[in-house]
């Protein structure tokens, strides 16, 4: 393959971004919507579940976070499953788990049942969290891969927004999350049940998306891979198609099927790029973002806002998250991934530090916690500024990087490991927050601020910019 052919292939890919690939990426990103919806829907149900089942701080922490253990399992097995069954079929399996979880969670008779079905839903969420970014990266042209990859995060924050909005509406309609709404079922049960709608939509829509060309090449289905590339990249030049298929085949080592042993390397047993992916995932969670979206209604209620106002504030925060994610999508392929991560880390360290300062002024504890003026409003502004910093950077950028930073030969399996680490980190943060809050919210937010500062150092030293680089050119070192 000569230089002219390579150049022709690159020009063919860079100059033809079709509406088809955008629609395909959007359909795959609905998995991200379910990710956001399923993990955030518990926000509105926390207080009702706690009182309804008589749970303590540790028990409610585990009831909220147990889905994340299922997500770690789903993420761990999604890579091997996707390499065996294909990306599209794996997305369909994830949708099935999410439908079962939504129905099961709504019909529980005890907290043990709720935990079981939350874990089932977590498995589906974990699978979707791995497959969606990998699939989007594999069907996207390099020049817009960042923007299309960011659709995963946009879908996540939209899922969070819709979950919180539906929680607020259902609770408001019933007169409270623990009040009976329809068919003799409390509002919090309907909060879970409505998740069946997007899960079914996801399962139906992915039926219409093509299989990843990189998966097809790995399975030796070259004519199908050529057909998909021709459609999604609008490539009709035979030489350019042959060059692209050959590049993919070379990067995949032809028929080779990756396994965990392929991630072994000289640094503490793993390849450097795998450690980078794991630490990106861990830092994304250790800055405490999901505390805002899992516990915010309870948090604002505890510092003096009414239940209705707490729901309203939570929904407003999720709207801010959606809007700033749109800004990130506009900037990712212009500024790059690394600069946005650096900006976000610095901003989060400052805003989390300010929240720690605000809660150091609090009086009382637990349900009797209160913030004197003007600290309550300052904390509210700081929390939303923190969401802006996260939504502009670590929210979308981590998913973009995880979808594209690994070499083709190990992408699915490496992404599975990184995503599993992310869910375990999420579990650690979410399950410990009620306990940390009992020690003091100032301590909790101060700890998250420290992790934000450490994430800044990590990005400066370890993260490589991937803007404009072809997936076939990603290195493991």
DSSP 281-340: HHHHHHT-HHHHHHHHHHHHHHTT--HHHHHHHHHHHHHHHHHHHHHHHHHHHHH-HHHH
**Which pLDDT belongs to residue 395?**
82
Residue in 467, 463, 403 with CA at minimum distance from that of residue 82? 403
pLDDT of residue 75: 77
Q: How confident is the model at residue 337 (pLDDT cuts 50, 70, 90)?
A: confident
> Which 3 state secondary structure label does DSSP give 267?
strand
What CA–CA distance (Å, rounded) separates 132 from 121? 16
Inform me whether the pLDDT recorded for 33 exceeds 90. Answer: no
- With residues binned 3-state (H G I as helix, E B as strand, rest as coil), the percentages for the chain, rounded to 5, are 80, 0, 20
Phi-psi region of 39 (alpha: psi -120 to 50; beta: other; left: phi over 0): alpha
At 425 the three-state DSSP class reads helix
| 180 φ, ψ (degrees, to nearest 5) | -70, 135
Q: How confident is the model at residue 272 (pLDDT cuts 50, 70, 90)?
A: confident
Contacts of 470 (CB under 8 A, 6+ apart): 10, 142, 247
Whole-number pLDDT of residue 282: 92
What is the Cα–Cα distance from 103 to 37, expressed in whole angstroms?
Answer: 14
Tokens of 245: 């298929």
- Using the predicted structure, report yes or no on whether residue 3 has a pLDDT greater than 60: no
pLDDT band at 139 (very low <50, low <70, confident <90, very high): confident
CA distance 199 to 61: 25
Does the model's pTM come out above 0.85? no
Distance from C-alpha of 298 to C-alpha of 198, rounded to nearest angstrom: 26
Secondary structure class of 186 (helix, strand, coil): strand
Distance between CA atoms of residues 269 and 264, nearest Å: 5
Average pLDDT of the chain?
A: 77
CA-angle at 413, arms to 153 and 257, nearest 5°: 135
Distance (Å, whole) CA 232 – CA 225: 11
The sign of the dihedral angle between the CA atoms of 405, 149, 419, 320 is positive
Phi, psi of 102 (to 5 degrees): -60, -45
Residue 156: pLDDT over 60: yes
Query: Cis ω on the peptide bond leading into residue 27 (within 30° of 0)?
Result: no
How far is it, in rounded angstroms, from Cα 152 to Cα 395?
10
Q: Does 103 have pLDDT greater than 50?
A: yes
Q: What average pLDDT does range 452-475 have in this prediction? A: 80
pLDDT of 246 over the 50 cut: yes
Does the pLDDT at position 4 exceed 70?
Answer: no
Mean pLDDT, range 113-120, rounded to an integer: 86
Residue 256: pLDDT over 70:
no
pLDDT tens-digit map of 179-232? 878 887 888 788 888 888 888 888 888 787 777 777 788 777 878 777 777 777
Q: Tokens in use for 460?
A: 């400066």
Mean pLDDT for the stretch of residues 82-110: 85
Report the pLDDT value the prediction gives residue 226, as an integer from 0 to 100: 78
Distance CA 37, CA 39 (A): 6
Q: Count other C-beta atoms under 10 Å from residue 346's C-beta.
A: 16
- Residue 384's pLDDT band (boundaries 50, 70, 90)? confident
């Amino acid at each position: 393959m000569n230089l002219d052919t390579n150049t022709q292939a690159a020009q063919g890919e860079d100059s033809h971004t079709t509406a088809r690939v955008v629609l395909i990426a959007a359909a795959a990103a609905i998995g991200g919507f379910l990710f956001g919806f399923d993990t955030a829907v518990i926000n509105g149900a926390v207080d009702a579940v706690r009182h309804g089942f008589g749970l303590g701080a540790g028990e409610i922490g585990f009831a909220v976070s147990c889905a994340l253990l299922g997500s770690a399992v789903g993420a761990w097995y999604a890579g091997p499953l996707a390499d065996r069954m294909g990306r599209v079929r794996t997305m369909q399996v994830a949708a099935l788990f999410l439908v079962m979880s939504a129905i099961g969670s709504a019909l529980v008779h005890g907290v043990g049942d709720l935990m079981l079905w939350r874990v089932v839903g977590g498995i589906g969420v974990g699978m979707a969290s791995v497959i969606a970014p990998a699939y989007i990266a594999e069907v996207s042209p390099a020049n817009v891969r960042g923007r299309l990859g960011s659709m995963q995060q946009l879908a996540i924050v939209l899922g969070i927004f819709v979950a919180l909005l539906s929680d607020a509406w259902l609770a408001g309609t019933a007169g409270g999350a623990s009040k009976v709404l329809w068919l003799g079922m409390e509002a919090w049960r309907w909060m879970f049940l409505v998740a069946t709608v997007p899960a079914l939509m996801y399962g139906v829509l992915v039926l219409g998306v093509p299989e990843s060309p990189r998966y097809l090449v790995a399975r030796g289905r070259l004519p199908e891979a050529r057909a998909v590339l021709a459609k999604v990249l609008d490539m009709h030049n035979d030489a350019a198609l042959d060059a692209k298929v050959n590049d993919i085949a070379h990067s995949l080592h032809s028929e080779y099927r990756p396994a965990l042993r392929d991630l072994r390397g000289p640094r503490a047993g793993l390849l450097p790029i795998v450690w980078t992916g794991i630490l990106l995932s861990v830092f994304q969670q250790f800055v405490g973002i999901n505390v805002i979206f899992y516990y915010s209604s309870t948090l604002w209620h505890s510092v003096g806002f009414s239940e209705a106002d707490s729901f309203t504030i939570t929904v407003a925060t999720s709207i801010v998250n959606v809007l700033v994610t749109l800004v990130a999508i506009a900037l990712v392929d212009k500024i790059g991934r690394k600069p946005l991560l650096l900006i976000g880390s610095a901003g989060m360290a400052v805003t989390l530090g300010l929240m720690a300062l605000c809660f150091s002024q609090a009086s009382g504890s637990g349900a009797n916690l209160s913030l004197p003026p003007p600290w309550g409003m300052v904390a509210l502004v700081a929390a939303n500024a923190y969401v802006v910093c996260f939504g502009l950077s670590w929210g979308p950028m981590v998913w973009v990087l995880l979808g594209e930073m690994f070499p083709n030969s190990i992408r699915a399996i490496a992404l599975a490991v990184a995503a599993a680490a992310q869910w375990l980190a999420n579990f650690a943060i979410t399950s410990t927050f009620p306990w940390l809050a009992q020690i003091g919210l100032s301590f909790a937010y101060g700890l998250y601020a420290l992790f934000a500062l450490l994430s800044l150092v990590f990005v400066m030293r370890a993260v490589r910019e991937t803007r404009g680089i072809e997936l076939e050119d990603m290195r493991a070192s």
